Structure 1
Amino acid sequence: MKIEDIFHNTINEYGMIQSGDGIVVGFSGGPDSTALVHLLYRFKEHYNIRLVCAHLNHKFRPGDAEEDAKYVQAFCRERGIRCIVECEDVPRMAAREGLSPEQAGRRARYDLFNRVMQGEGFNKIAVAHNRDDQVETVLMRLIRGAGVEGLGGIKPVRETIIRPLLEVPRPMIEEYCKEHRLNPVTDKTNLSPVYFRNRIRLELLPYLRDNYNSNIDRAVLGAARVLRWENDFISGAARDEFSRLAEEQGTGRLEFSAEKLLELHTAVLWRVLRMAVEHLLGDANNLELVHIEKLYALLEKGETGKRINLPRGIVAGVEYGRFFVARQPHPAGGIEETYRLAVPGSTSIHEADGVIEAKIFSMEDYKRERNTADDRRAFLDLAKTGRNLVVTGRKKGDRFNPLGMAGTKKLKDFFIDQKVPRNKRDLVPIVRSGRDIIWIAGYRIDEKYKVTADTRQVLGLEFRQF
């Protein structure tokens, strides 16, 4: 089967593309993404789609990275494809936020893809994962102890993200690039055994093929496909049972009949327990297998008055046949972490029990949205704020220029004027651009960053508490 056939079959099987779609293509310049851009370009009339490419210089490989960007721009220019190139100091970001280089790189890339998608008014992101990537991912997750969901591997479609090459072997992609004289760039870091994925590719898989199963790739892919089906079934059953059994008792508390929960199949029950925490917090970050095990053990024992504490202020317990999961008010303290604000996207501020959602608006859209502005929403000039924003708590000596005022004011004095209770001041999220405060969430933006007649794009921020 030719690469074009697999490409079309994958798109059709998973309903990846609909007529009129606007697609942002992640384009590194390597063989996989080069083939993906070329195929989408060749068949854009067939699918009636609009394309824009997005490339991120991660600053991992000085010199080579700049050459990659030039290749990407030239490739797109020759074909009349719009291309957006940005630079992000990912090594610095990884060190600052305690992330691995792979995690930081992935976050920075998808931040860019989402920004471009929203800014262009598009609706899909295409990335170039291939069949070999799928095999490597499943083995990595198996080694790390993933459950059914993780062992299903990379999903062909996840929300706005599509992967049209997911069933194409890497050698076929490389042959396609040669056949069409695309001359993609080579990322030498892919040959370094420093990275976990590279060790799987360069060391483990060849060993398994030579010594255990020459068809290991096919075996892993077959198992992953079955696990994806089973995961979809279990997830659907769990959602149905959660809707049937969960009872909201005021803000931040869910209750269940302990007896009815224990009637569920264990696989479904564990998902329901996870969903309860996710429902209260908005996500299940930092919730690990050991925490679900503790919830299950608590439920199974059924001792009235018994309670356990989980990360991020979650408490669970049993009271006379009722099982509850609740969010505790955050203890007095303050916002201690520095959060990198996803622009666009949602960023959970755990200490404040809330989330900041960032959106990018054209001036036309802003004119419609501004009528909905209130204390919890703010609109700022994106060109002035930039996208490299962080959220912190207040800091000693903080000053800013409150909107509508002449000159700066101490943040402490501003809080006093606004009658913010002393015990809540350290829990107010402060959005910053570099050293500048741009928004006191829930209160006021800085005068310097307001929207004016010269503004071209608007950053909309909204702070919502759980």
Structure 2
Amino acid sequence: MEKVLGFIGRYQMIVSGDKIVAGISGGADSVCLLFVLLELREKMGIEIVAVHVNHGLRGEYAKRDEVFVQELCRKHDVKCVVYHENVESISKKRKQSVEEAGRVVRREAFERTLLACGGTKIAMAHHQNDNAETLLMNLSRGTGLKGLGGIQPVAGNIIRPLLCLNRREIERFVEEIGCGFCQDETNEEDDYTRNRLRHQVIPVLEEQVNAQAVRHMNEAMEQIRGLQDYMEMQTEQAYQDCAAKQKDGGICIYEAGYRKLHRVLQGLLIRRCLTRAAGAERDITMAHVEAVAGLFEKQTGRSRDLPYSVKAVRNYDGVVLKKKTDVQKKGFSPIQLRVPGITRVPELNLTICCSILEKSVDFSAKQAPQKTYTKWFDYDIIKGDLIIRPRQGRDSIVIDKDGRSQKIKSYFINEKIPSEERDCVPLIADEKQIIWILGYRMSSACQITVQTHRVLEIKVTEEKSDVREDYGFSTRKRS
């Protein structure tokens, strides 16, 4: 008992006045947990609410466990909340294994009770053998530094007071206090991965390698958790310095900052960004991290498909991670502009106002508006109707007064516009030429001069935000 109380104090798991929701299955570990909490109830004035989940899997054995827990709680004046769930049915609906569905159902029951009773913390009965099994599972399946740390003693409002004890110590304690406990016969079966580790792997380690294998694994995990806390701070700082969330929901890892990081921190940063882009961490392995890292050595436009429908794309700035549903796959339909008049472009959420200004004063370039989305053009030079459209194969734009032109494709490359965004950059064109790459530059051939008689003013607005932000355009200075 003193060992556990010291462990609780070390991690400041419980304070006076806490209301603890405890998961009590009836097994030796949960019975031990209940008696630890009863000791603290006497010393610190905490409240205890026991939660028992009947998974509907073991028939009369499950009913036996339920009755045992209810009687034990009644004997010690502890409120007991019992949930009846059909875990097999739930696992099919959620497309989870029975083992995983049971774990989730238990967690949901604990959280529901915590909310209903105004509890402060959830106490779970994980011990050192559970932690050793978790470490071996993580190592076998592939993991990062976090997985090597095993089960956390404190994680948010969840506490695990028994992580300082192994299974033998717990069973010995329960025997010494003269309290029985329930044996879950499914724990003796090897149908689940964890049970196979428990019965076939750990005994071999203890018998043929080192009798203290479980303790040594837990000591190593404790050191790794300390290292993990430090690296967590370093990784978050690297994220702030070297990555940023984009308007389309993707996350860009900028090459300039990434290259300055230590190799280990590079991997942790990639995992952090991938997890945030995916919205989940499970099933993200070192192979996925290495696939993203490899893109930094590839040319622009190369990509990798990753779990949770995430796509990693190499661009000019670095590597962008985003959901495939966020990737722009096509452009938009061409629309003829009303001149003069107002034209709405629903696909781009734009409104384009065209006005013809007659020469009542001496127009000059100095008088032209300097706003990115309001431009003046020499209307006398424009031929035929104006349309707004995406790029086409042979498009080019005049870039100087001598009439030299540049292909739109080359311009986009020079401006470092990501390849997946190029078909969505709007172009305004007449029958002969591109007069404006919207948000970037206008044609030098259509600029007003002292010979200009009529000026075409084109003003583009977007209902909710600046057009550049909405379409991911950068904020580099435009002409």
TM-score normalised according to structure 2 size: 0.64
Whole-angstrom distance in 1 between the partners of 2:210 and 2:80: 43
Q: Which residue of 1 aligns with 2:9?
A: 12
Tell me which residue corresponds to 2:288: 291
Distance 1:48 1:268, change over 3 A: farther
The residue correspondences of 1:248-397 to structure 2 (distance < 5 A) are 248-299=245-296, 301-329=297-325
TM-superposed CA distance for 1:59, in Å, is 1.4
Report the AA paired with residue 309 of structure 1: D
Matched, 1:108 2:122: no
Residues 248, 140 of structure 1: CA spacing in aligned structure 2 closer, same or farther, 3 A cutoff?
closer
* Structure-1 residue corresponding to 2:241: 244
Structure 2 residue corresponding to 1:216, chosen from 213, 217, 224: 213
User: Which one-letter code corresponds to 2:316 in the other structure?
Assistant: Y
Q: Report how far residue 302 of structure 1 moved.
A: 4.5
Deviation at 1:108? 0.8
* 169 and 309 in structure 1: CA distance in 2 versus 1, 3 angstrom threshold: closer
Give per-residue Cα distances to partners, 1:64-98, cap 9 Å, x unaligned: 10111111111111222111001111122223333
In the TM superposition, what is the alpha-carbon distance from 1:54 to its structure 2 partner?
0.4
2:79 maps to: 82
Contact 2:239 2:269 in 1 (8 A): yes
Q: What is the CA–CA distance in structure 2 between the aligned matches of 1:7 and 1:254, rounded to whole Å?
A: 43
Match of 2:155 among 132, 140, 158: 158
Structure 2 stretches of 5 or more lacking a match?
329-479
Amino acid at match of 2:311: V
Paired residue secondary structure (2:325):
coil
Query: Residue 184 of structure 1 corresponds to which residue in structure 2?
Result: 181
Question: Which residue identity does 1:182 align to in structure 2?
Answer: C
Range 78-87 or range 276-285, more displaced: 276-285
CA distance in structure 2 between the partners assigned to 1:141 and 1:286 by the alignment: 11
Aligned to 1:145: 142
Rounded Cα–Cα distance in structure 2 between residues aligned with 1:320 and 1:125 = 48
TM-score, normalised relative to structure 1: 0.66
CA contact (8 A) 2:53 2:106 kept: yes
The structure with more radius of gyration: 2
Point out 4+ residue stretches in structure 1 off by more than 4 angstroms.
none
Could you tell me which residue of structure 2 aligns to residue 205 of structure 1?
202
Structure 1 alignment gaps of length 5 or more: 333-466
8 A contact 2:142–2:285 mirrored in 1: no
% same residue: 32
**1:331 CA displacement:** 8.9
Cα distance between partner residues in 1 of 2:295 and 2:116: 47
Aligned to 1:196: 193
User: Is contact 1:307–1:316 with CA below 8 Å preserved after alignment?
Assistant: yes
Moved more, 254-263 or 307-316: 307-316
Once the two structures are TM-superposed, the CA of residue 55 in structure 1 deviates from its matched residue by 0.4
CA gap of 1:28–1:269, structure 2 versus 1, over 3 A, is same
Q: Cα distance, 1:226 vs. partner?
A: 1.9
Q: Decide whether aligned partners of structure 1 residues 32 and 297 sit closer, same or farther in structure 2, where only a CA change above 3 A counts.
A: same
Cα shift at 1:330: 5.7
- 1:24-57 Cα shifts (integer Å, max 9, x gaps): 0000011110111122012213233221010000
Contact 1:258 1:302 in 2 (8 A): no
- AA paired with 2:304? I
> 1:251: how far off?
4.0
Which amino acid letter does the alignment assign opposite residue 299 of structure 2?
A: E
Aligned length: 328
Distance 1:228 1:295, change over 3 A: same
CA gap of 1:195–1:279, structure 2 versus 1, over 3 A, is: closer
- Seen in structure 2, the aligned counterparts of structure 1 residues 155 and 46 have a Cα distance that, compared at 3 Å, is same
Equivalent residue letter for 2:261: L
CA displacement at 1:314 relative to structure 2? 2.7
Measured in 2, the distance between the counterparts of 1:217 and 1:206 equals: 10
Aligned twin of 2:344: none
RMSD over aligned CA atoms reads 2.1
Bigger mean CA offset, 142-151 vs 261-270: 142-151
